[in-house]
Structure 1
């Protein structure tokens, strides 16, 4: 007896349902003139004017009398001699998601230039059929199927369908005419030949090309005769009946049509299997002592260490001590893996190749995000086929995770594989510098990959690389390949050296309780080694003097900012005091030797304009200065005391990175990632962008942002009176910041921290709340104020559709770089940043959740478009803006 092989529907978790619409065969009775006189519109129906008219077919999955999917439709096709589509239709559902009662409702649609009286549409049902996907044995149907078409009815898909694909034969009486028996014999012969054709298609009957052509011609003739005979028999049975169809005045049983379809074939039978969910955990609900009557005393229990016996509300649940709780792994599994990998199997593993099922499983593991954990079985599979995977660069991080690097024997086998692996990208190298990879070999390999990155690219990740120093093996920077690499590259680059100096200075001067003392000493040590490296060359010594002069300059400015904030008097008095201090020669601010600007070392400054300054209206009273550049231009500069700008610095760095990622895909969304630099734990500076808050713009232009854009960029020939370049800039920047602030979970959004510049650039400032935190209740996930849409011309204007398209494109583009973004946030888990230290482990997960990586591209796109629509229509967000405006007026 042969072994029975089968698969289950749960094995087809990623395969969508398909059905092939092949051909339509049948006979149609001409419409009597008496009917045409009553219904002249029937004269124009395509199927009544031409036996090979253009029809189209729709298919839809139903189950339990409810539709499970939307309809899919065949493409337009012109027929000559027969109605043959031969088209596969993909249905938007996987086999694993099908219930056992699933059916395909297939409708053939006729066309008419005159609207149908019942549906008011130009498409009327030619006929329909409903076929179940599983047979009576719960086995998936496959191969060619011949479905009876019920004329003038759309397929209903109901459990007790009125359009079944097979009509059971009528019971025969003794007095049945001989013609009826002849018809049955012809139909039975046609069905027998179709079964043989199925077997040949399945490979059970060998092919013979020259003989098969003759057989197929003969089968076509037999099929046509059988159809004619069956059609004639139906007309005879209906000859005494006058029942008509209300749609067309015709008898729906007078016409006979069959639709040939084809379902996918599999190597084995596919049996329906329901999804098995893990059992629910044991309830931990505590019952009060008087909640129920106990008929017998509870048994005596010996409690383990750490479990008290004074819980009077334990109820009937008995807690016992499990000595394995708290273990990170099963010791038996660890021992098994160690024994298996300790064997000298390199020669065998080198030539080992996975089968198709295992290969697809391995490729799926590679595509998973950096935050997904690998099971013990998955780690064993990756180790087993490590040589096969070594040609795929994305697999290296998964391989490193599958190795126990604390086991010397296992690490000794794995280390040579790193050099043989395909060269990884920078985002994977950043992952290998995370906290879970503490082996020197792994981190050194990641550093070697970073050495191939240019200075501009390295500067984008420098903030995270400084934080990655915390994860070095010794914890104090001794023999750190990453620290040595950063020092060497920064000593050779003005820009890298500038930012490395300030990033290390801020961390080294952080004496708060949230910064561990050994971390602070680590940054002091690396900073010392960096300046020692600079002293080795004459150019380096000059650069060290430059960094010292920068520190002196910002120290003076910081003292002035603190005096303004803590000094007495109103804002006008503070402004006059600041202006006088800037002009004081003792501060040496009016003119000095050219110096690279700490915010942007590519800009050289040589003084400050003392008369062109300001004190902003804010609780911390930040000051606005204007530096004089060496080419006699102004560089506006804001200095703030009393606020930790490291969180804002991180957000701007991520926005800058995302801007670069979008531009690589030729998508310039006109973002404004202004420069920002934390110069201390509670001090910092950022670039001032000439702009106006939305609240101020609306107040000045009578509540219309469009009027603001029109006033600054007039063009009477443009559709909205706004210069086209300015409107495009506004739409693109609105889309870019809407997507990015959603991904980063930026909160506390109101019209005072949404800014717009005269040239139409829209941007966000003040990132005091990120990763989903927000001081206001019911805050929207995505901030799209109605005033922003009004500036585009409203929701009915084509600009709004362009805005949504830019949003979806940016969303899709950034999702493709999810690994890089998540790895950068993972490196910041131990940073002393306000919203990260609230939940260090969950901070990266919050970013991952907003990318919806578990959903397909199409599904995520639909959900994101729905989120945009909901955000635009969110009235509660408008109420929050109104309440904020009222509070600001009361404070003013």
Structure 2
């Protein structure tokens, strides 16, 4: 026991010595070290003789330089910290100076030698590598690829060339500054399994600047029908800004389609024209000139179509002047002045009420209009006093649209496009949620047209009828139906509520109140005014979707069906091909001056927020539970009724 106590005391002194709290005396140090070795040997022999033997050896690192941190002990004097001047600083160039590691770079170049192509063609991934490749291929287009993933894709590029989903990932790992690697990659790209339009859109983003890659993307888009092309024509016009030459393949393709199809030509004209407004996009200006030359060179019909497009532009300029004049007046005098201008016999009135020739409706070019009906036109009571204009059609009907001056409608235009696209994706899966796909067309930085849909705001309905079902039953009566409504109108309401709940959740639509939720007479609900998206909202802690108690009460016993429709729609839009398409469309809008996408030049964060709404890490069952929890949180939002009352007070004071 005495020997064990002595050893423990010596070990304690040794710890203090190593920590620098005991002074070093050479002759005494040697004696103590010798005594410690003897004591340890004696203790070991005793333990072995009594079968009570257990030994743990721990090797601790020895530092040549001073260590400036140690565990504090109460019974030990504080260790003096060595001065910073005596420390040796080592700088890691890779981390601190953001420099490339030459060893890694050399390894990458050797492993990617084009001369290895014959060998790489025979390489097959093992089980673990297959799982890793599958995970990489399934990543959304917004995720960057690390060096390990890029090397793995390159190594097995031939083995995965049968998978169309892998092409965009492979092209991201190519070193385009290496001519030999570029040539080999372009050749393999042409032999790859054909991709679809969604992946082709990614190849037109600024990530890919190689002209051959962009030409390949256009060749894929050439296979699309005009109906599908119109769904992402807005983004294709934005992609022109990333081309490196005026005479590029994308511009040629768009102009060819526009000259051949007047509907495509109408929208291309306005999309490109808006891009030409300050600050102008150089490639868009050259595409506009190319479009004009091609239209005039086609034939008499081509020249006539171009002249009608020019007349549309002149018409918008005249209506802008009228709006500015009307806004100088107050109250009912605005409507009187608008109708007086349209009914006058002067040059302006004559041109507006009777066009020189029938022109396509800018919002819907399939409808030809002949003039503006003064008696049916009006001015809305709001801060910007938008005009409600009724256009006489060639068939004798009227097409009503709203002209706004003072608002940038490009964000609304994008949101309405996304709603129409998602509606089409849902209908492809046989899910019709009765969405109202009205049209919006920006005609300038602060002017634009909105299709008028006959409806009434929920705020006005509740003020007049107290319950939404009373309004629906008034237009769709059925004494034996739910709440006195027909079953069709009730299901229109439930389905449309579900559709817009999912879509506004994904788009992060904010500033939702009962004045920008509209209800049509057949029970379909829809949203307007998309001034806040991607999670932005002027309110504090807003719900993720607008689901007020009046809407829940109107659904009544069908609230469970509402949740079922929501979950079904959410999982359809979470499918890989849908997510890729939607993310790529938003990626192409990075430089489109959409306020809430590139706010504070933080576009990448906005895109990641959009991606996070799809909860891609969850399976379908978990995603359903996730969305149901969002529904319950939104329907029970504590602050939402308070903000709703504050909004009504603000509207009253205005």
* Equivalent in 527, 548, 556 of residue 310 of structure 2: 548
* Equivalent in 237, 255, 258 of residue 490 of structure 1: 258
**Contact 2:94/2:100 (<8 A) preserved:** no
**Contact 1:671/1:763 (<8 A) preserved:** yes
Query: CA–CA distance in 2 between the matches of 1:343 and 1:439?
Result: 19
Secondary structure (helix, strand or coil) at the match of 1:523 reads helix
* Equivalent in 84, 87, 102 of residue 298 of structure 1: 84
Counterpart of 1:206 in structure 2 is none
Name whichever structure is richer in helix by fraction.
2
Query: CA–CA distance in 1 between the matches of 2:282 and 2:290?
Result: 12
**Contact 1:433/1:468 (<8 A) preserved:** yes
Q: Does 1:807 align with 2:578?
A: no
Counterpart of 1:527 in structure 2 is 288
Counterpart of 1:863 in structure 2 is 626
Deviation at 1:324, TM superposition (A): 5.5
TM-score of the two chains, using structure 1 as the length reference: 0.62
Q: Does 1:651 align with 2:420?
A: no
Change in Cα spacing, 1:687 to 1:623, as seen in structure 2 (3 Å) is same
**Which structure ranks higher in relative contact order (CA pairs < 8 Å, sequence separation ≥ 6)?**
2
Counterpart of 1:884 in structure 2 is 647
Counterpart of 1:713 in structure 2 is 476
* Equivalent in 368, 371, 379 of residue 607 of structure 1: 371
Query: CA–CA distance in 1 between the matches of 2:314 and 2:574?
Result: 43
Secondary structure (helix, strand or coil) at the match of 2:550 reads helix
Deviation at 1:486, TM superposition (A): 1.1
Query: CA–CA distance in 1 between the matches of 2:587 and 2:538?
Result: 25
Counterpart of 1:823 in structure 2 is 584
Matches within 5 A, 1:181-260: none
Counterpart of 1:479 in structure 2 is 247
**Contact 1:642/1:682 (<8 A) preserved:** yes
Counterpart of 1:693 in structure 2 is 457
Query: CA–CA distance in 1 between the matches of 2:425 and 2:114?
Result: 45
Counterpart of 1:436 in structure 2 is 207
Matches within 5 A, 1:720-759: 720-759=483-522
Matches within 5 A, 1:279-318: 297-299=83-85
Q: Unpaired runs of 5+ in structure 2?
A: 1-77
Deviation at 1:815, TM superposition (A): 0.8
1:175-230 per-position Cα deviation (integer Å, ceiling 9, x unaligned)? xxxxxxxxxxxxxxxxxxxxxxxxxxxxxxxxxxxxxxxxxxxxxxxxxxxxxxxx
Secondary structure (helix, strand or coil) at the match of 2:171 reads helix
* Equivalent in 568, 581, 586 of residue 341 of structure 2: 581
Query: CA–CA distance in 2 between the matches of 1:372 and 1:723?
Result: 48
Counterpart of 1:558 in structure 2 is 320
1:367-388 per-position Cα deviation (integer Å, ceiling 9, x unaligned)? 1111122121211111111111
**Contact 2:94/2:101 (<8 A) preserved:** no
Name whichever structure is richer in strand by fraction.
1
Deviation at 1:339, TM superposition (A): 2.1
Q: CA RMSD in A?
A: 1.9
Secondary structure (helix, strand or coil) at the match of 1:406 reads coil
**Contact 1:712/1:758 (<8 A) preserved:** yes
**Contact 2:167/2:192 (<8 A) preserved:** yes
Counterpart of 1:665 in structure 2 is 429
Matches within 5 A, 1:115-126: none
**Contact 2:275/2:281 (<8 A) preserved:** yes
* Equivalent in 170, 174, 182 of residue 411 of structure 1: 182
Deviation at 1:875, TM superposition (A): 2.5
Deviation at 1:478, TM superposition (A): 2.6
Secondary structure (helix, strand or coil) at the match of 2:484 reads coil
**Contact 1:382/1:402 (<8 A) preserved:** yes
**Contact 1:571/1:615 (<8 A) preserved:** no
Query: CA–CA distance in 2 between the matches of 1:869 and 1:884?
Result: 23
**Contact 2:434/2:492 (<8 A) preserved:** yes
Change in Cα spacing, 1:328 to 1:812, as seen in structure 2 (3 Å) is farther
Query: CA–CA distance in 1 between the matches of 2:81 and 2:119?
Result: 65
Secondary structure (helix, strand or coil) at the match of 2:419 reads helix
Deviation at 1:297, TM superposition (A): 4.6
Deviation at 1:787, TM superposition (A): 1.2
Counterpart of 1:500 in structure 2 is 268
Secondary structure (helix, strand or coil) at the match of 2:531 reads coil
Secondary structure (helix, strand or coil) at the match of 2:438 reads coil
Secondary structure (helix, strand or coil) at the match of 2:443 reads strand
Deviation at 1:346, TM superposition (A): 2.2
Matches within 5 A, 1:143-182: none
Change in Cα spacing, 1:788 to 1:380, as seen in structure 2 (3 Å) is same
Query: CA–CA distance in 2 between the matches of 1:886 and 1:362?
Result: 57
1:778-810 per-position Cα deviation (integer Å, ceiling 9, x unaligned)? 1111111111112212xxx1x101111111111
**Contact 1:649/1:678 (<8 A) preserved:** yes
Counterpart of 2:27 in structure 1 is none
Deviation at 1:695, TM superposition (A): 0.2
1:558-608 per-position Cα deviation (integer Å, ceiling 9, x unaligned)? 21112112x13x220111000101112322122222110011100111111
1:68-115 per-position Cα deviation (integer Å, ceiling 9, x unaligned)? xxxxxxxxxxxxxxxxxxxxxxxxxxxxxxxxxxxxxxxxxxxxxxxx
TM-score of the two chains, using structure 2 as the length reference: 0.84
Change in Cα spacing, 1:406 to 1:715, as seen in structure 2 (3 Å) is same
Deviation at 1:463, TM superposition (A): 0.7
Query: CA–CA distance in 1 between the matches of 2:149 and 2:373?
Result: 64
**Contact 1:735/1:803 (<8 A) preserved:** yes
Deviation at 1:660, TM superposition (A): 0.6
**Contact 1:301/1:320 (<8 A) preserved:** no
Change in Cα spacing, 1:449 to 1:779, as seen in structure 2 (3 Å) is same
Q: Does 1:837 align with 2:598?
A: yes
Q: Unpaired runs of 5+ in structure 1?
A: 1-291, 303-317
Change in Cα spacing, 1:323 to 1:789, as seen in structure 2 (3 Å) is closer
* Equivalent in 156, 173, 179 of residue 402 of structure 1: 173
Change in Cα spacing, 1:660 to 1:684, as seen in structure 2 (3 Å) is same
Query: CA–CA distance in 1 between the matches of 2:554 and 2:473?
Result: 9
**Contact 2:518/2:525 (<8 A) preserved:** yes
Query: CA–CA distance in 1 between the matches of 2:340 and 2:90?
Result: 74
**Contact 2:246/2:283 (<8 A) preserved:** no
**Contact 1:709/1:791 (<8 A) preserved:** no
